């Protein structure tokens, strides 16, 4: 790690950077130094560190003449062969974003109270964002007074507030005894760590020794406050008080896997259109650790978010109705394009052939029309045709039959099915249609004020309140266009999956750029790395599609997502009653025809009797 080595060399030549206080060695015994060396070796091995950083203040008062001082950094550098940063209290040089997560930090303190020890301020700045780095506090006072339990708890509480979760404290307690006139000296090394769940608790590792544990893997007894509103498919509350939705299930699984629990707090009068006004900033204000309703950088006020956890990509497109061409127009276009083309070619070919062969162009026109309309010709006229033309006539007759069959099938299909016409995909297509874009004031700010959607659509905006927009969207009112996110588009697809013909589609040419969907988190949150690891493993093992599917099923069962049905009468089996009216009309028609026939026969008999036509014939 050459960069770390160069940084070390640079620090050594900086004047005013004081050396880390050296742990003493009493007499010829290397008790404390050997203990720190072994402890540091274990921490470096378990955490796989590649550099060491030593923080402290050089206090001459801590050195006595009879104490042999040995440099701990020299000892560790020789033992581990890795760069070591020696740091003091110089204020014009910062370590922020220089130290990595694989750095072992040693801190020499003369007081466990952050208010009394100035080196704690240096740690706050220098180790910002490095939650998981192993930190070893070496407590050393001249009189070797051990810290009390309350003092250690205050120290670890400060560590939790600063998001340091891999912290250990060690000190040596020296005891002087006077037995039989001989003064004896004994010492004992103590080691402590802590857990933050369900509250900050000190753990004594003096008897068990160093143990590498990640306190973020066990939230036992810890409760997360979770404000929630009904926002399918992202996150919503079930009637049994559980959390559902794609992102809600992911958060619930994370808390359950870490053996914690959460408490849902339903919010009133909050939806995805005003979520940014208050609830989105709850984690920033420190009211909650993690929010379950994601947001993107397009949301108003997203720049005020303190922390976040990236999830998936998202964007927003304009939701436009499917454009369906009327059946008569589609049928006429089909007839003109197919049958008309065939008739024109057949008419020109036969007319020219008959005119050139026998000078009877009108004969060619007659045969063309007879063939095209599948009309019969007499046997005598057919026998008079030349043998080659008979094959041409039969072939043309067969082609006409196929085309007429296709036209009949198309005539019935245009009234029983719907085919898409010219669709709206660009801003020009949208402006050429009579549609208006319905959206709320917050969406106007999000998409048009910020320039995420084309400004040419502004004259077509229909700004309404939240309740009106939700009412139209829930009913899939195709009289307007809407703005829809990637997540809401899945809801629309589910709503119209049972429709014979879908009502909406996405205008692919009227979309925003891609943005990242994020979980709201507190600033510098210690949960971020642990949550990221869990979500990565969940996606690798296929849990993400499961959560998405289960969230949609729960939303459908609760009625939050209603599947639309076609408003048409289903097919029924025909019976005699269905033909009753037709039979009556048919019988009346036959009766009318019969009466007309009788009237005509009577009239002819009367006319013949009066004119004497029958006597002349006889």
CATH of the domain at 487: 3.40.190
Tokens 């025809």 found at: 593
Does residue 56 form part of some domain?
yes
Domain co-membership, 74 together with 194:
yes
Same domain as 196, residue 238: no
Cα 90 to Cα 455: distance, rounded to the nearest angstrom: 53
Could you tell me if residue 306 is inside a domain?
Answer: no
Non-local (6+) Cβ contacts of 590 within 8 A are none
* pLDDT of res. 399: 81
Q: Are residues 104 and 171 in the same domain?
A: yes
Q: What is the pLDDT of residues 326-385, one digit of tens each?
A: 666 666 676 777 777 777 887 778 777 777 777 777 777 777 877 777 777 777 777 777
pLDDT for position 514: 93
Angle between helices 31-47 and 72-80 (to 10 degrees): 40
State the pLDDT confidence band at 325, using cuts at 50, 70 and 90: low
Largest CA distance in the chain: 177
Q: How far is CA 558 from CA 238, 245, 278, 551, 554, in A?
A: 8, 12, 26, 11, 6
**Distance (Å, rounded) from C-alpha 209 to C-alpha 215?**
17
* 187 and 47 within one domain: yes
429 contact partners, CB below 8 Å, separation of at least 6: 422, 423, 507, 509
CATH number at residue 272: 3.40.190.10
Residues 364, 393 contacting (CB under 8 angstroms) = no
> Which of these, 484, 510, 321, lies nearest to 425 by C-alpha position?
510
Buried b (16+ CB within 10 A) or exposed e, 571-603: eeeeeeeeeeeeeeeeeeeeeeeeeeeeeeeee
Together in a domain, 532 and 459? no
Residues of the chain with pLDDT > 90, as a percent, come to: 31
- Is residue 278 domain-resident? yes
What is the DSSP secondary-structure string of 103-123?
Answer: EEEEEEES-S-TTT-THHHHH
Neighbouring CB atoms inside 10 A of 325's CB total 15
Give the domain range for residue 282.
Answer: 218-293+522-563
User: Do 453 and 347 lie in a common domain?
Assistant: no
pTM of the model: 0.68
Which of 215, 239, 266 terminates a domain? The answer is 215
CB within 8 Å of 200: residues ≥ 6 apart = 153, 156, 157, 160, 194
| Same-domain pairing of 142 and 227 | no
Task: Let me know if residue 475 belongs to a domain.
Answer: yes
Do 47 and 176 lie in one domain? The reply is yes
- Among the three residues 391, 413, 435, which one is the final residue of a domain in this structure? 413
Residue 298 belongs to some domain of the structure: no
Q: How do beta strands 223-228 and 261-266 pair?
A: parallel
Q: Are residues 594 and 557 in the same domain?
A: no
Residues 6+ apart with CB under 8 A from 589: none
pLDDT in tens, 87-108: 555 554 556 566 777 888 888 8
CB distance 311 to 492 below 8 Å: no
Token pair recorded at residue 512: 């925003």
Same domain, 457 and 535: no
On the 0-12 / 13-18 / 19+ scale of CB atoms within 10 A, 3 is exposed
The answer as to whether 369 is a domain residue is yes
The residue out of 215, 235, 251 marking a domain boundary is: 215
Q: What is the distance between the alpha carbons of residues 328 and 414, in angstroms, rounded to a whole number? A: 8
The answer to whether 247 touches 311, Cβ cutoff 8 Å, is: yes
* 589 and 532 inside one domain: no
The pLDDT, as a whole number, for residue 445 is: 93
Q: What is the pLDDT of residue 572?
A: 55
- pLDDT tens, position by position, 242-276: 999 999 999 999 999 999 999 999 998 899 899 98
In a domain, 305, yes or no: no
- pLDDT top residue among 7 and 384: 384
Residue 211 located in a structural domain: yes
Confidence of residue 416 (pLDDT cuts 50, 70, 90): low
Kindly state whether residues 271 and 145 are assigned to the same domain.
Answer: no
Tally the domains of the chain. 5
Residue 425 sits at φ, ψ, to 5 deg, of -125, -20
Q: Following DSSP, what letter does each residue of 274-323 receive, concatenated?
A: TGGGTGGGTTTTTS-SB-SS-B-TTSTTGGG--EEEEEEEE-EEEEEE--
In which region does residue 125 sit, left (phi positive, over 0), alpha (psi from -120 to 50) or beta (all else)? alpha
CATH number at residue 150: 3.40.50
521 CB-contact burial (10 Å; exposed 0-12 / middle 13-18 / buried 19+): buried
């Amino acid at each position: 790690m050459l960069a770390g080595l160069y940084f070390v060399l640079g620090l050594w030549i900086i004047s005013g950077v004081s050396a880390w206080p050296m742990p003493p060695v009493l007499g010829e015994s290397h008790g404390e130094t050997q203990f720190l060396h072994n402890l540091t070796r274990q921490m470096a091995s378990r955490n796989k560190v590649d550099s060491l950083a030593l923080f402290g203040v050089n206090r001459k008062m801590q050195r006595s003449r009879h104490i042999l001082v040995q440099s701990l950094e020299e000892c560790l550098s020789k033992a581990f062969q890795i760069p070591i940063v020696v740091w003091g209290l110089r204020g014009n040089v910062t370590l922020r974003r220089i130290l990595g997560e694989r750095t072992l930090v040693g801190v020499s303190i003369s007081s466990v109270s952050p208010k009394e020890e100035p080196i704690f301020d240096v740690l706050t700045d220098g180790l910002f964002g490095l939650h998981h780095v192993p930190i070893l506090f070496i407590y050393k006072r001249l009189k070797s007074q051990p810290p009390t339990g309350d003092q250690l708890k205050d120290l670890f509480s400060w560590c939790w507030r600063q998001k340091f979760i891999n912290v250990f404290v060690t000190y040596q307690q020296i005891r002087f005894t006077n037995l039989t006139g001989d003064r004896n000296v004994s010492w004992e090394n103590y080691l402590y760590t802590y857990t933050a769940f369900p509250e900050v608790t000190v753990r004594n590792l003096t008897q068990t020794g160093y143990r590498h544990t990640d306190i973020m893997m066990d939230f036992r007894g810890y409760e997360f406050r979770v404000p929630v509103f009904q926002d399918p498919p992202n996150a919503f509350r079930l009637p049994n008080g559980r959390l559902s939705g794609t992102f809600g299930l992911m958060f619930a699984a994370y808390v359950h896997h870490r053996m914690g629990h959460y408490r849902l707090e339903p919010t009133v009068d909050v939806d995805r259109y005003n979520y940014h006004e208050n609830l989105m900033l709850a984690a920033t204000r420190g009211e909650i650790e993690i929010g379950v309703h994601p947001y993107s950088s397009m949301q108003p006020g997203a720049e005020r978010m303190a922390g976040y956890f990236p999830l998936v990509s998202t964007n927003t497109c304009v939701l436009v109705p499917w454009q369906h061409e009327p059946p008569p127009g589609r049928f006429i276009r089909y007839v003109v394009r197919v049958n008309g083309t065939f008739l024109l070619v057949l008419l020109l070919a036969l007319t020219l052939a008959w005119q050139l062969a026998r000078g009877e162009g009108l004969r060619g026109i007659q045969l063309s029309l007879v063939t095209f309309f599948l009309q019969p010709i007499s046997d005598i006229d057919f026998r008079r045709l030349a043998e080659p033309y008979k094959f041409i006539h039969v072939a043309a007759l067969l082609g006409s039959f196929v085309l007429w069959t296709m036209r009949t099938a198309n005539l019935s299909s245009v009234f029983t099915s719907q085919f898409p016409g010219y669709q709206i995909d660009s801003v020009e297509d949208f402006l050429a249609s009579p549609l208006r874009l319905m959206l709320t004031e917050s969406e106007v700010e999000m998409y048009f004020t910020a320039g995420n959607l084309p400004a040419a659509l502004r004259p077509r905006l229909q700004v309404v309140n939240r309740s009106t927009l939700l009412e139209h969207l829930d009913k899939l009112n195709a009289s307007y266009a809407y703005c829809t996110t990637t997540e809401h588009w899945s809801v629309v697809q589910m709503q119209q999956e049972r429709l014979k013909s879908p009502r909406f589609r996405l205008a692919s040419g009227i979309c925003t750029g891609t943005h990242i969907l994020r979980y709201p988190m507190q600033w510098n949150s210690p949960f971020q790395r642990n949550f990221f690891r869990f979500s990565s493993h969940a996606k690798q093992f296929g849990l993400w599609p499961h959560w998405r599917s289960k969230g949609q099923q729960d939303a459908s069962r609760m009625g939050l997502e209603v599947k639309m049905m076609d408003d048409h009468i289903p097919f029924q089996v025909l019976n005699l009653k269905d033909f009753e009216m037709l039979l009556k009309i048919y019988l009346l028609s036959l009766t009318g025809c019969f009466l007309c026939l009788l009237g005509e026969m009577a009239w002819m008999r009367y006319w013949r009797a009066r004119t004497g036509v029958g006597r002349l014939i006889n």
